[in-house]
Structure 1
Amino acid sequence: MYLPSLAQLALGSRLKSLSDHFYGAVDEVYRTCGAGVESRWFPVLRFLWEHGETTVSDVATAIGQTHSAVSQLADKLVDAGLVERRKDAQDGRRSLLALTAKGRQALSALGPIWVAVRRGIMQSLGEDGLKTLLAALSATEQALQERPVVEAMLAEHAALTSATLEVVPYEPALKEHFYRLNAQWLERHFRIEDIDRVLLGDPERYVLAPGGAIFFARLAGEVIGTCALLQESPGVYELSKMGVDETFRGMGAGRSLLAAAIAEFHRREGRELFLESNSRLKTALRMYEQAGFVMQPAVRSGSHYERADVYMVYQPAKGQARSAATRA
């Protein structure tokens, strides 16, 4: 399934999907059993049944919903004849919610259905699974009360946007990102070819061991881009496997990686640097041209890639090579 692969980013969507599933299941049971209520009404009706007349604010606090949401739900319950609004005898400026006779009668007939719902959920999830779920929900609710999630998210965003982008060399702990970042753009625009799968799956053997290098762009500990410098033969290198997480585009990761690879080429005193790409990747091609790569009139002879219809060779302007070598 797709949503689980998004982990924290899809937490709200997954919880909503589960919520809708349980709401729908209980509503179907209510309809089948002839109960004139809806599952979304349950928290308010049950609270009023157990605590008597009370304010919208008290109900909202008790069930963890906003004042506006409870007020809107109360209007529906009033229209259904299950709840009524009364003036507070102690404070005429506010109203109280209370069950009507119809509401009390409807709830008093729901005992067998509620028991069936409890037992059915336990049978479906299993006793251990249900305990684990309820414990996790309680722990989550407690954690969100103690550490509001909006504040945490905004603090993390501020840290990311103010952090300095760094380019770091390959280390084994980063191996999975080399595959992940390249697979992301390949699957989006083309497909992962056999040669990609081999090289990305074992970069130490097919990139580093033959004399190449791999770089990663990292922002506040988040790995957001990568590229490789492949040694084809002594002094001849290929710029390859450039990939930047699409959610971090525009932050300079691609240019920083490209600069690092070119600087490494000069540091090694390479004599030729080329790349293969595809004409559909307009933004990347412009970046390569600005860095000194020149479009060649034909595709490279003996290209390993089906998708390659662009061949570019690095031809730095006078002084650019000396400057890069100095920086290296």
Structure 2
Amino acid sequence: MRDIPDPAAVGTLLRHVLELLDGDLSRIYEEQGLPEYRPRFSPAVRALLAEGPLSVSDLATAVGVTHSAASQTAAQMARADLVTHTPDPLDARRRLIDLTPKARALLPRIEAEWEATAAAMAELDTELSMPLAELLREVAEAVGRRPFRERVGAVYRGPGSGGPS
């Protein structure tokens, strides 16, 4: 049995790499006494530190994820008592997400992990043909220019499409 997914299954391979990276970071947080903290929280924490309280939509934009992903992350962070949801004083229909005192107390530990992760990523990049973040940005830009659905649709000839199957 193989430890690495089929290289032709790019989505599976991307998830596998993410699981390897995030899994190790999660274990570090557990070892540091932060079992409820997840690697996916760090971009939200950084955005909230930089910009202050944000709506889910603004957090999604700041982090570069979908509204749904930002909402799910904020809900997980709220369950861990890392963020609060309060009414926006300028628009009662919106709720603002902000860091709790518990999250602020954890910042020195979280920031130390950020620095260590950046150093570890720099080391890993020396073993790659190009920096991973650079490659992923290129992929995102290319798919932004021409969505993957269009690329697949241009060549897909499934059953019932009139073409070869």
Q: For the superposition of Structure 1 and Structure 2, which TM-score range results when normalised by the shorter chain?
A: 0.7 to 0.9
Q: Equivalents in 2 of 1:34, 1:40: separation in Å?
A: 17
Q: Equivalents in 1 of 2:27, 2:34: separation in Å?
A: 10
State how 1:8-47 maps to structure 2 within 5 Å.
10-35=9-34, 37-47=37-47
CA contact (8 A) 2:125 2:131 kept: no
TM-score by length of 2: 0.84
Match of residue 103 from structure 1:
103
Q: Equivalents in 1 of 2:41, 2:111: separation in Å?
A: 16
Aligned residues: 161
Match of residue 176 from structure 1:
none
State how 1:90-239 maps to structure 2 within 5 Å.
90-123=90-123, 125-127=124-126, 129=128, 131-157=130-156, 161-163=161-163, 219=164
Pick one of 5, 19, 39 that aligns with 1:3: 5
The C-alpha deviation readout for 1:179-215, integer Å capped at 9, x for no partner, is: xxxxxxxxxxxxxxxxxxxxxxxxxxxxxxxxxxxxx
Match of residue 64 from structure 2:
64
Q: Per the alignment, do residues 15 and 69 of structure 1 end up closer, same or farther by CA in structure 2, a change over 3 Å counting?
A: same
State how 1:268-279 maps to structure 2 within 5 Å.
none
Q: Shift in Å at residue 158 of structure 1?
A: 5.4
> Secondary structure of 2:33's match?
coil
Q: Equivalents in 1 of 2:62, 2:130: separation in Å?
A: 22
CA contact (8 A) 1:49 1:104 kept: no
Q: Shift in Å at residue 162 of structure 1?
A: 3.5
Percent of paired sites with the same residue: 30
Q: Considering only aligned residues, what root-mean-square deviation do their CA atoms show, in Å?
A: 2.4
CA contact (8 A) 1:26 1:39 kept: yes
Q: Which protein is bigger by CA-based radius of gyration?
A: 1
Match of residue 289 from structure 1:
none
CA contact (8 A) 2:84 2:97 kept: yes
Q: Identify the structure with bigger relative contact order (alpha carbons < 8 Å, sequence gap 6+).
A: 2
For structure 2, the 5+ residue unaligned runs are: none
> Secondary structure of 2:85's match?
strand
Structure having the higher strand fraction is 1
Q: Equivalents in 2 of 1:14, 1:127: separation in Å?
A: 20
Q: Per the alignment, do residues 3 and 89 of structure 1 end up closer, same or farther by CA in structure 2, a change over 3 Å counting?
A: same
For structure 1, the 5+ residue unaligned runs are: 164-218, 220-247, 249-328
Q: Shift in Å at residue 104 of structure 1?
A: 1.5
Match of residue 53 from structure 1:
53
